[in-house]
Amino acid sequence: MEEKLYFPKNFLWGGATSCPQIEGSFNKPHKSVFDYWSSIEPEKFFDGVGSDVTSDFYHRYKEDIKLIKSIGLNSFRTSIQWSRLIKNLETGEVDEENVLFYHNVIDEILDNGLIPIINLHHFDLPVELYEKYGGWESRKVVDMFVLFAKKCFELYGDKVKYWTTFNEPIVVVEGQYLYKMHYPCLVDGEKAVQVLYNLNLASAKAIREFRQGGFDKYGSKIGIILNLTPTYPRSDSKEDLEASEIADEFFNKSFLEPDTKGHFSKKFIEFLEKHNVLFKQEKEDNKIFKENIVDFLGINYYFPRRIQAKESVIEDDKFFPDNYFDYYDMPNKRMNPYRGWEIYPNAIYDIAMNIKENYNNIPWYISENGMGVENEARFLDDSGVIQDDYRIEFYEEHLKYLSDAIKDGANCFGFHCWTPIDCWSWCNAYKNRYGYISVDLETQKRTIKKSGYWIKNFIEKQNNN
Ligand code: BGP
């Protein structure tokens, strides 16, 4: 007999995407860092495919939103691009045509009976703010972001009930300042720490703007989306535990603590002080953090982080987080070979219990989870449908652990896949496909995969439970 799963009434069954990954760069007043980078160094992107067309959502949003509805989802996260909405980044003057574009998108979402979740930053800093001010290194850029956020609240505040300030802000730190995944591909641990701080500040200030401006009067809520990659030590030796704790502080708690408790953890501050890289802050900042914690969390989960004590000797005396731990290559782990990520569904339960036990059981939802697979055309059947059974199995396993967590008291209000419709992905471009719905890049034709029919059926079953 099939096992009964537990998902509350009004659970958000949905999917997430981001505008820089679907819209194409048509009609934008500014380039984002990815628009710029893929235009100057296309060879850094899989098959040389940049962000100029992507899935052409800019022209096809009506069709796409209807398709998302047709596979039974009840909610949809996308984002608003700073580099599209704002014409004058200094003054916050908007681009009227693009104001209308986002009105049309949000209206279409609502008209289809879907709940929109709108995110304000998904790795898409306008590149000129990097060239002119050093991007997130600068507090001026923090305030410019707040200006952009305020415009979004003013324009769309009566329509959007769930806002999020950032998607995976730690990935901006990693991508731009540590591991060369995002333009300008710097390797600078000290700057990384300041950027980490400034991103936290930008989120808290945007939340302050939201509340002081009274945008919560519509009953709307504001949160942030974090990739809370759970950290598992190789063993319970003192050395492994310490290394694992440092990784957890740097990659998870550095946002989770200020976002939910209004201050950085003592351990994190001591760690930065010890290595002489404590961020610069201003007097009023602590008050801003304290008064502007999030209403809810979005949690992206793909894979666990396995850590062991540092084995090699550190030769460089410059600060770099990886100087204090090594990654542990656990034997026999289950892998998604296309993306190179471990598959470990149990972690969803661990994340949920961590939030329940250590973060006051704040409301949260899974804002991304999914499996990217290369060359899915080989799974096409005679009727032209991709038989993505691996994806169905992946979701079934993750949802089982989520259901167990909810049974055990997790305050989880939704599950969003990454992503309803195949989309462009940063340097991997269209290499790995994640969608319930495929996109043929030659023709832009959309076709529902087997997993799209499966999720519809799955949600119906849960609703009738
Ligand atoms: C998350 C990002 C998404 C998306 C996803 C899948 O980290 O928020 O934007 O890209 O990962 O990862 P990837 O596209 O790198 O395979």
| Catalytic residue check, 368 | yes
Q: Is 433 in the pocket of ligand 1 (CB under 6 A)?
A: no
pLDDT score, position 2: 65
Contacts of 103 (CB under 8 A, 6+ apart): 155, 156
Q: Is 425 in the pocket of ligand 1 (CB under 6 A)?
A: yes
Which atom of ligand 1 is closest in space to residue 227's alpha carbon? Answer: 7
For the chain, domains (ranges, CATH) are: 12-464 (3.20.20.80)
Helix (H) or strand (E) holding 418: strand 412-418
Q: Could you say which of 168, 174, 209, 376 is catalytic?
A: 168
Identify which of 32, 150, 158, 155 has the alpha carbon closest to the alpha carbon of residue 91. Answer: 150
C-alpha span between 409 and 236 (Å, rounded): 27
Average pLDDT for runs of 10 along the chain of length 465: 85 98 98 98 98 98 98 98 98 98 98 98 98 98 98 98 98 98 98 98 98 94 98 98 98 98 98 97 98 98 98 85 97 98 98 98 98 98 97 98 98 98 98 98 98 98 90
Q: What is the CB neighbour count within 10 angstroms for residue 68? A: 25
pLDDT score, position 1: 52
How remote is the CA of residue 418 from the centroid of ligand 1, in Å?
A: 8
pLDDT score, position 3: 74
pLDDT score, position 267: 98
How remote is the CA of residue 249 from the centroid of ligand 1, in Å?
A: 22
Identify which of 10, 119, 111, 117 has the alpha carbon closest to the alpha carbon of residue 69. Answer: 111
How remote is the CA of residue 122 from the centroid of ligand 1, in Å?
A: 10
**Tokens 């000290």 sit at which residue?**
190
C-alpha span between 430 and 96 (Å, rounded): 31
Cα distances from 1 to residues 4, 179, 287, 460, in angstroms, run 9, 47, 54, 18
C-alpha span between 445 and 422 (Å, rounded): 11
C-alpha span between 352 and 325 (Å, rounded): 25
Q: Is 301 in the pocket of ligand 1 (CB under 6 A)?
A: no
pLDDT score, position 325: 97
Structure tokens at 4: 């009964």
Strands 296-300 vs 221-226: parallel, antiparallel or unpaired:
parallel
List beta partners, residue 32. Answer: 126
How remote is the CA of residue 22 from the centroid of ligand 1, in Å?
A: 13
Q: Is 428 in the pocket of ligand 1 (CB under 6 A)?
A: yes
φ, ψ for residue 223, nearest 5 deg: -145, -160
List beta partners, residue 412. Answer: 364
How remote is the CA of residue 412 from the centroid of ligand 1, in Å?
A: 22
| Catalytic residue check, 282 | no
Which atom of ligand 1 is closest in space to residue 167's alpha carbon? Answer: 8
Q: Which of 426, 428, 430, 431 to mutate to test the pocket of ligand 1 (most atoms within 8 A of CB)?
A: 426
Are 94 and 104 contacting, i.e. CB atoms less than 8 angstroms apart? no
How remote is the CA of residue 425 from the centroid of ligand 1, in Å?
A: 6
Q: Is 168 in the pocket of ligand 1 (CB under 6 A)?
A: yes
Q: Is 119 in the pocket of ligand 1 (CB under 6 A)?
A: no
